[in-house]
Amino acid sequence: MKNFDIIVVGAGHAGIEASYAAARMGLSVGLVTMDVNSIGRMSCNPAIGGTAKGHLVREIDALGGIMGEIADKTGIQFKMLNTSKGPAIWSPRCQSDKDLYSNEAKKVIKDQENIEIIQDMVKELIVSEMKNNENGYSFIINGIKTETGLEIKCSSVIITSGTFLNAVMHTGKSNIEGGRLGEKAATGLSECMLGMGFETGRLKTGTPPRLFKESIDFSVTEVQKGDDNPKPFSHKKYFKFPLQEQIDCYLTHTNEKTHEILRTGFEDSPMFTGRIKGIGPRYCPSIEDKISRFSDKLRHQIFLEPETLNGNTIYMNGFSTSLPIDVQEKAAQTIPGLEKVKLAKQGYAVEYDFFPTHQINLTLETKLVSGLYTAGQINGTSGYEEAAAQGLMAGINAALKIKKEDPFILKRSEAYIGVMIDDLINKCPDEPYRMFTSCAEYRLVLRQDNADRRLMKYGYKFGLIDNNMMNYLNDKTSLISDGIEFFRKNTISPKNMNETLIRKNSKELPQHEFMYNVIKRSEVTIKDMLDLKSFDDNELISKIRDNEDAANQIEIEIKYKGYIDRQDEQISNFIKNETIRIPEDFKFEKIKSLSTEALEKLQKIKPTSIGQAMRISGVRPSDISAVLIYMRG
């Protein structure tokens, strides 16, 4: 009988990160996938990052995860989003070659010591009852059973099953079992978990048609170019960037004729006829949902994005649908540039099982079974990046538990990853959760550019970040600190600065002024200061010129100091509430003044601190006061 420290179920983006992290921490990992060739497959949009999602990728990389590196090696268009707005919401995104991405992911997993890939389906969890009911667990994980009859022992299981649990694909009146076109559903595991006392629900996601490239007239669409000077996701600088040829994407729009044809398929739509019971992602609706909910809108954006460098398929971003195939193609042919388009693959919706997140702890370990973790879409999230971040955290925590070390929990004041997991546990979303910058109340501090300064110390502690990378970070951190201090203490003369200020339409200096105050001006950039010839012999300025990351962070820290200080003060108050611990065996039912809703939520989620209790939906300030009074009792 095989024996591993950790079994990871599923080899999507969550499973890759979980396996990679645990293996690098010295644990033996069995990665079970129904199809070895599907490792790291991009089921939907062949892209990584985007608004807030790019923050997650940068954080994954800073902690020692692999998604950022794979994206950098296989990206065919890189773009920093929201640059016309404040730095808190700048977000990196890349269009990926989906084949190269999957191949690179497979290579990473196959080359990583301590990982064995097993092609099979997990049908059952092997557990034993907890005799001493440690920390409220009912069971402890002992292993798994597979479809082929394998029994594998382990100390921990991480389920990263994506959209495959009892999955059904819908197109028009057709419905087929499967979690991805051409791939079967995963069966047995949901029923096993239900038998142990878990609650389950149904969610749905969708994907748009893929189009044959040669059937598109790109000349009547709007070209969407990437950045001229693209920035990588990864902080690690071990290879040339970018590696791949960089390409354009294209923009077109639906119109009233498109909407009219789409409506003819509504009577066969699995969404509108009730055949789909699962709730879909609110912020990524299907095209039929868009024209139904926003009937006053005359057109919707459609982005045409190449799926690979050398292939012939285009991803029709913005046209997710489960309408009949003939309606999909006929409607698409009303869109400028797509008049002669042919579908390479139809769009479809997938309905699948998920497990509501009141059943897991902040470590992503289940409350019912010791050693069992869940990550990704099984927890009700949507998106590769959300899944990868959870997989990384589950992998780290499973390894730490086996090593008998303290768990790793990121606060929402430390990382977008912390915000996401905190939201999942305390808000228990009943629709697919997507990360947005608006989810993070401390987003000016949690910028994508400073993810390394926030989180790399943890990755280093767990052995996921090497000495060279940590030394580079320490040097950069010192450079940022020295640079801010230099600009604060030194002045610039009108003679050296005014020519630049005139060119930038900024008020001239009447006398010497501290450089710090000049950089604070909205019209002036740090590059304007660094480009002055008077600094050509300054060693510190030369180092800042050579380190664009450090220069950008110096500028942000100077320009937004007042706002950052205010957020730091808010974070300080937040941490005070986090340090007021609630005992594990606390009996909320003994507090008679709690509202019925608050009692139900507190008993279900079992918050570990007053801060966490305050963030549970349905728990009022008066309920928190009652808990504090009882605790002081």
Express each pLDDT in 412-436 by its tens digit.
999 999 999 999 999 888 889 999 9
> What's the CATH code of the domain at 306?
2.40.30.260
Asked whether 270 and 285 are in contact (CB, 8 A), the reply is: no
Supply the DSSP string of 422-440, one letter for each residue: HHHHHH--SS-B---GGG-
Of the candidates 609, 618, 534, 538, the residue with the CA atom closest to the CA atom of residue 577:
609
Distance CA 258, CA 123 (A): 44
Give the residue from 487, 522, 555 where a domain finishes.
555
Give the residue from 289, 323, 348 where a domain finishes.
348
Amino acid at 529: M
Could you tell me if 117 and 252 lie in one domain? Answer: no
pLDDT in tens, 298-322: 899 999 999 999 999 999 999 999 9
For the segment 465-476, the average pLDDT, to the nearest whole number, is 96
The answer for residues whose C-beta is within 8 angstroms of residue 439's C-beta and 6 or more apart is: 52, 416, 419, 420, 423
Distance CA 28, CA 116 (A): 8
Q: Tell me which H or E stretch contains 563.
A: helix 561-578
Could you tell me if 511 and 536 lie in one domain? Answer: yes
- Residue 462 CB neighbours (<10 A): 18
* Percent of residues, the chain, with pLDDT higher than 90: 84
- The pLDDT of residue 203: 92
> What's the CATH code of the domain at 424?
3.50.50.60
Residue 633 has, within 13 A of its CA and on its CB side, a CA count of 9
- The pLDDT of residue 286: 87
- The pLDDT of residue 395: 98
The answer for residues whose C-beta is within 8 angstroms of residue 341's C-beta and 6 or more apart is: 211, 212, 215, 216, 329, 332, 333, 335
pLDDT in tens, 385-406: 999 999 999 999 999 999 999 9
Lowest mean pLDDT among 161-170, 243-252, 287-296, 461-470: 287-296
Token pair listed for 552: 């950008």
Average pLDDT taken over every residue of the chain:
93
* Structural domain contains residue 202: no
Could you tell me if 340 and 386 lie in one domain? Answer: no
Amino acid at 16: I
- The pLDDT of residue 450: 97
Asked whether 200 and 353 are in contact (CB, 8 A), the reply is: yes
Q: Tell me which H or E stretch contains 473.
A: helix 467-489
238 confidence band (pLDDT: 50, 70, 90): confident
Distance CA 381, CA 344 (A): 28
- The pLDDT of residue 178: 87
Could you tell me if 481 and 549 lie in one domain? Answer: yes
Distance CA 44, CA 205 (A): 10
pLDDT in tens, 321-335: 999 999 999 999 999
Token pair listed for 80: 């920093």
Looking at the predicted structure, is the pLDDT value of residue 272 above 60?
no
Q: Tell me which H or E stretch contains 542.
A: helix 539-546
For the segment 454-473, the average pLDDT, to the nearest whole number, is 97
* Structural domain contains residue 87: yes
- The pLDDT of residue 617: 87
- The pLDDT of residue 130: 85
Nearest 5°: phi and psi at 480? -65, -45
Could you tell me if 131 and 233 lie in one domain? Answer: no
Give the residue from 348, 378, 403 where a domain finishes.
348
Of the candidates 438, 385, 391, 390, the residue with the CA atom closest to the CA atom of residue 418:
390
Could you tell me if 268 and 381 lie in one domain? Answer: no
Domains in the chain, number: 4
Is 598 exposed, middle or buried, given 0-12, 13-18 or 19+ CB atoms closer than 10 A? buried
Token pair listed for 603: 């008993």
Asked whether 160 and 6 are in contact (CB, 8 A), the reply is: no
* Percent of residues, the chain, with pLDDT higher than 70: 97
E-strand spans in 248-376?
249-253, 301-306, 313-317, 343-345, 348-354, 369-370, 372-374
Could you tell me if 54 and 143 lie in one domain? Answer: yes
360 confidence band (pLDDT: 50, 70, 90): very high
> What's the CATH code of the domain at 584?
1.10.150.570
* Structural domain contains residue 404: yes
Token pair listed for 38: 């599907």
Distance CA 88, CA 86 (A): 6
For the segment 115-119, the average pLDDT, to the nearest whole number, is 98
For the segment 256-270, the average pLDDT, to the nearest whole number, is 86
Amino acid at 501: L
584 confidence band (pLDDT: 50, 70, 90): confident
Instruction: Please calculate the CA angle 492-496-500 and round it to the nearest 5 degrees.
Output: 105
pLDDT in tens, 515-525: 999 999 999 99
- The pLDDT of residue 324: 92
Could you tell me if 396 and 506 lie in one domain? Answer: no
281 confidence band (pLDDT: 50, 70, 90): low
Distance CA 561, CA 553 (A): 11
* Structural domain contains residue 605: yes
Looking at the predicted structure, is the pLDDT value of residue 77 above 70?
yes
Helices (H), 25-97: 53-62, 67-74
Residue 33 has, within 13 A of its CA and on its CB side, a CA count of 24
Could you tell me if 58 and 123 lie in one domain? Answer: yes
E-strand spans in 183-263?
201-207, 210-212, 222-224, 249-253
Looking at the predicted structure, is the pLDDT value of residue 438 above 60?
yes
Could you tell me if 13 and 93 lie in one domain? Answer: yes
Strands 491-492 and 249-253 come out as unpaired
Asked whether 204 and 349 are in contact (CB, 8 A), the reply is: yes
* Structural domain contains residue 450: no
Looking at the predicted structure, is the pLDDT value of residue 460 above 60?
yes
Of residues 579 and 181, the one with the higher pLDDT is: 579
Distance CA 18, CA 302 (A): 34
Tell me if residue 565 falls in helix, strand or coil.
helix
Distance CA 10, CA 38 (A): 10
* Structural domain contains residue 568: no
Tell me if residue 318 falls in helix, strand or coil.
coil
Could you tell me if 14 and 162 lie in one domain? Answer: yes
User: Domain limits at 597?
Assistant: 579-632
Looking at the predicted structure, is the pLDDT value of residue 276 above 70?
no
